[in-house]
Amino acid sequence: MLTDLSPRRRRRLVAACGAALLVCAAGGTTLAAAMPAQTPRTCGLGTLKGRYHFAADGWLTTASGRTPLSYAGFEEFDGAGHIKGTIRVSVGGNVAPIERYDAAYTLGSDCVASQTGVIAGEMTHWDLYPSPKGDRFTFIRTDPGTVTSGVEHRVG
């Protein structure tokens, strides 16, 4: 323990540790400066490919108030801009039958995606933000009168 050392030995030990840290820091800086810069990550349609599961909830808002909603399902992204999905929706406690749908998506090199399609009988619009490997993404619905967002995880 440091308390068992004389004050002079503690100062020497602290000074030696400080010097070692400075050498490591300087070496790390030199090493980092010598490493090549990484190219910025870019995305393409193929970043999102495979089956993704999701579940989310939110609100529908109208002039007369808010109605809770929830939904769950999965989507198959083909890596070329097309989606086939399966969803079950509950609005205000009224559970709709399971529905299958087709949708389309775009994915820019900036890794921001957009999805559109008729889901649960209405045209929907979404923004998607994929992780670097495309194994998951966050989403938010962008249609007026809806407040919902969530996460999808690739499962296959």
Mean pLDDT in the chain?
83
CATH number where 120 lies: 2.40.160.20
Do 113 and 55 share a structural domain? yes
Give the gyration radius of the chain's Cα atoms: 26
Q: How many CB atoms lie within 10 A of CB 93?
A: 9
Do 50 and 24 share a structural domain? no
Give the domain range for residue 66: 45-154
Number of domains in the chain: 2
- pLDDT (mean) for 81-88: 97
* Of 29-33, 101-105, 108-112, 150-154, the least confident: 29-33
Give the pairing of strands 146-154 and 136-141.
antiparallel
Do 122 and 71 share a structural domain? yes
Q: Which of 128, 139, 138, 122 is nearest to 60 (CA)?
A: 122
Residue 13 has pLDDT above 50, yes or no: no
What is the pTM for the complete model shown? 0.72
Asked if residue 39 belongs to a domain, the reply is no
3-state secondary structure of 151: strand
Q: How far apart are CA 26 and CA 28, in angstroms?
A: 5
For 106-139, the pLDDT digits (tens) are: 999 999 999 999 988 899 999 999 998 999 999 9
Confidence of residue 49 (pLDDT cuts 50, 70, 90): very high
Q: How far apart are CA 113 and CA 115, in angstroms?
A: 7
Asked if residue 112 belongs to a domain, the reply is yes
Q: What is the pLDDT of residue 36?
A: 53
Asked if residue 99 belongs to a domain, the reply is yes
Do 59 and 13 share a structural domain? no
Do 50 and 21 share a structural domain? no
> In sequence order, what are the beta bridge partners of 85?
75, 101
Residue 3 has pLDDT above 80, yes or no: no
